Structure 1
């Protein structure tokens, strides 16, 4: 039989990032949290938390944390259906739905869906940012209950819903275009012009260059690159002339219309299909969240 007090301590350490903050969240001492986690590790015969700044879960620890969140979700749904049960459950607060999402969706269309879902005040969201090609991995590991992803293949035990496509456009400031692309956007110019990338998992720029058909696949790895891990900073950097980059069209349409940004190549867009995946348990809350996500996507993404 699993010790759910110890599991709650483990989940709190991983969620909060330290034993001290986990103790504050649980209303116990750091020593108590440490003892519970250590006892659970001894019982499981495995290290569950990598002690550090922040503390992170091992693969076994992540699976146990996911189990805790699944149980809390199911208990929350049962308490809603059976009010008398609420008094028997631990006072852990509203259930929290942990969702993996790419930064561009978070910056453009997803927040209204989260707000609509949480409006009643009886549920919370915990958004984890990851590259759109990697959010499904967070779902597969059990770290999250749902994800916005480019992966259309359902993760085992999950449901997949197509959302539409987020359209990207390659942009730069007029001054940057005049300086680096005065003779056109070709392989030689792209090899010299500074490029902006979000992180090492960001491949949107090279995917766009691949649509040109004449650019070597290795060009993106050799081009001078600025690294900016912020969707809003991408827009600001493009406006300031730091480099060229791929921006979600909804974020830059106004700047393009005003002439403050220009497209590297007119009508050469990159459409990235997105999917919503969520675990099949806890259907009431996850179905409610899915309805809001699909509605927001319908209003914002290409169909």
Structure 2
């Protein structure tokens, strides 16, 4: 079933912007025109593609068409770039999903290596590494940093390396809650800092080192650098990326809990299995950046 190019662009813009009015402003048309284009696609497929919520959400059928739409737009941009002899073409929008710790430590540096020649603009979706694959399945993003080694349908997967975390606390916190000897056996009842309610790294560390379930008070700090600072300020203990706490440990501003037991998270790069100079360049830069900053498997 053929789709008009303008209709495909309208669907991706609607999903990205979230509302018919916002999509209309970006496309320089009326909201009614956006609605008519989406309705025409739904009539062509015989399925509802978009739930009219705020923001809009794609249905299962909409996910399939959204993936197709983004692939068509990417191929169109690649073709235009290869044929272009002068400037003027609009850079392709490349949506990517990345976990917060990678985003704040190594990913942006890697992406910067790709940016000058990629002729792209980036839309970063910050999501836990265990959940970024859902954005790939839905067609929301073209590639993702994930902890899932099994390839999403239609995607290729490559290992990036291991992100190492250290369980740490401030010396003052140690004195108040851990007996002044950084005793891991006291962690289950001690105040802890979590990134959000899906963050399992701290609980995982407690289970692995003590064999017990954590029960202490919890702070939730959903920003990577702020999370590390919260631990440094003594609100609670936490599992912090090694690159964000190594210097503080060395200077005595943080105390490492169970130094012989780091928490390692294996990371993978999943991308659409589609030949694209833009996506190829980004993938090469991400793999190179990961190799320079992460521990090997």
2:133 pairs with 1:136: yes
What's the offset of the Cα at 1:41? 3.0
Partner residue, 2:34: 33
Identify unmatched segments of 5+ residues in structure 2. none
User: Does 1:113 pair with 2:106?
Assistant: no
Q: Distance in 2 between matches of 1:254 and 1:22?
A: 46
Provide, for residues 88-134 of structure 1, a one-character-per-residue CA deviation record: whole Å limited to 9, x for no partner.
xxx98221221111111001000012122111362122111111111
User: C-alpha separation between the residues in 2 aligned to 1:50 and 1:196?
Assistant: 36
**Alignment RMSD, CA only?**
2.2
Superposition deviation, residue 142 in structure 1: 2.4
Cα offsets for 1:197-238 (capped at 9, x unmatched): 1123211112222331x322xx14x33211111111111211
- Tell me the residue number matched to 1:63: 64
Tell me if structure 1 keeps the 8 A contact 2:118–2:278: no
- Tell me how far apart the structure 2 counterparts of residues 99 and 74 of structure 1 sit (CA, whole Å): 17
Matched, 1:160 2:143: no
Q: Distance in 2 between matches of 1:21 and 1:299?
A: 40
SS of 1:199's equivalent in the other structure is coil
Conserved 8 A contact 2:169-2:237: yes
1:297 deviates by: 0.8
Q: CA separation in 2, counterparts of 1:150 and 1:71?
A: 28
**1:145-193 Cα distance to aligned partner (Å, 9 max, x none):** 1111111122222221111111100111111111110165344x22321
1:194-205 → structure 2 map (5 Å cutoff): 194-205=191-202
Q: 1:259 aligns with which of 232, 252, 256?
A: 252
TM superposition shift of 1:194: 1.2
Aligned length: 294
Unaligned runs of 5+ in 1: none
**TM-score calculated relative to the size of structure 2:** 0.91
Distance in structure 2 (CA, Å) of the matches to 1:34 and 1:140: 24
Farther off after superposition, 189-198 or 40-49? 40-49
Contact 1:99 1:146 in 2 (8 A): yes
Q: For the Cα contact (< 8 Å) 1:198–1:230, is it kept in 2? A: yes
Report the Cα distance in structure 1 between the residues aligned to 2:125 and 2:275, rounded to whole angstroms: 19
Note if 1:72 corresponds to 2:73.
Answer: yes
**TM-score with structure 1 setting the length:** 0.89
CA contact (8 A) 1:195 1:223 kept: yes
Q: 1:57 to 1:92 in 2, by over 3 A?
A: farther
Aligned to 1:185: 183
SS across alignment from 1:126: strand
